[in-house]
Homo-oligomer: A and B are copies of this chain.
Amino acid sequence: MSPKEFTDYLAKNFQINFSDLDLLKEALTQRNFLNENPKETGRDYQRLEFLGDAIMQASVTEYLFKRYPEWDEGQLTEMRITMVQTKSFAHFAKVIHLNEAIRLGKGEEMSGARERPSLLEDIWEAFIGALFLDQGQKAVDSLLMQTVFSAIDENFFDQFIDFKSRLQEKLQAKGAVDIDYTIEGEERNEDNTQVFKVSVSLDDHILAYGYGSSIKDAEKAAAQQALVDLTE
């Protein structure tokens, strides 16, 4: 994707129009690209990443604080950890096509860095830093509403939560010990895909059922349902 194609894409899909295109370029520039192109002026993305990392953390914190007025600091912290992590930011970097716009060194390109989660996380943060400097906190919040924050409503972050561990911690805190997962059934959908039904039980008393296309997914779903039931 050329710089022009990328800025057009940002404008059309996310209403983002950079005033200082050098700032955007800096956010997209990996160190080896500069080494290989000595005529290039400007820096790599790392300073902007330093800024954007803190801006992301504060933006997510403020959003969660206001969205969940009844949550205590433990619940808020847990949710923030789930949202502010490499896999999450790498995903959103791809959602806005940052991966296609990175100015990457040749060696890095060959080794597949353009799809590497740790680089995508860095570039996401650097991009947020550049957007913050160029357009301010409101523009950052607007982009996050269209990506990271709306993903909460789509249960996007569930995939990063270890519901089985969380259920175990919760039950052990109450003194309980014997948690079992049992396969209760196995069916086939109309399209011939498998569905597993799993129960989770505490001291031989069934807490909840879960369904999934693998036993692992079904167990996770059962643990998640049990947590929901316990919290209500």
Chain A residues touching B, majority SS: helix
Contact B47 A65 (CB under 8 A): yes
Which residues in chain A, 43-97, are within 8 Å of chain B measured between CB atoms?
46-47, 49-51, 53-55, 57-58, 61-62, 65, 72-73, 76-77
Question: Is B73 a contact of A50 with CB atoms below 8 Å?
Answer: yes
Instruction: Report if A137 contacts B (CB, 8 A).
Output: yes
Whether B54 lies near A61 (C-beta < 8 A) is: yes
Report the separation of the CA atoms of residues A46 and B49 in the bound assembly, to the nearest whole angstrom.
28
The complex places the Cα of A194 from the Cα of B101 at a distance, in Å, of: 62
Which chain B positions have C-beta within 8 A of A51? 61-62, 65
* Nearest-neighbor residue (CB-CB) of A51 within chain B: B65
Asked if A76 and B58 sit within 8 Å, CB to CB, the answer is no
Closest to A69 in B: B47
CB neighbours of A55 from chain B (8 A):
58, 61-62
How many chain copies does the complex carry? 2
Contact A76 B50 (CB under 8 A): yes
Chain B residues whose C-beta falls within 8 Å of the C-beta of A57 in the assembled complex: 54, 57-58
Q: Which residues of B contact A65 (CB under 8 A)?
A: 47, 50-51
Nearest Cβ distance between residue A79 and chain B, in whole angstroms?
11
Interface residues of A in 25-52 (CB under 8 A from B): 46-47, 49-51
Partner among B47, B62, B72 whose Cβ is within 8 Å of the Cβ of A54 = B62
- 9 A-B pairs with C-beta separation under 8 A: A46-B72, A50-B61, A50-B73, A50-B77, A51-B61, A51-B65, A54-B61, A55-B62, A137-B137
A residues sitting closer than 8 Å to B (CB atoms) are 46-47, 49-51, 53-55, 57-58, 61-62, 65, 72-73, 76-77, 132, 137
Q: Which 9 A-B pairs have the closest CB atoms?
A: A58-B58, A54-B61, A50-B73, A54-B58, A46-B73, A51-B65, A54-B57, A47-B73, A50-B76
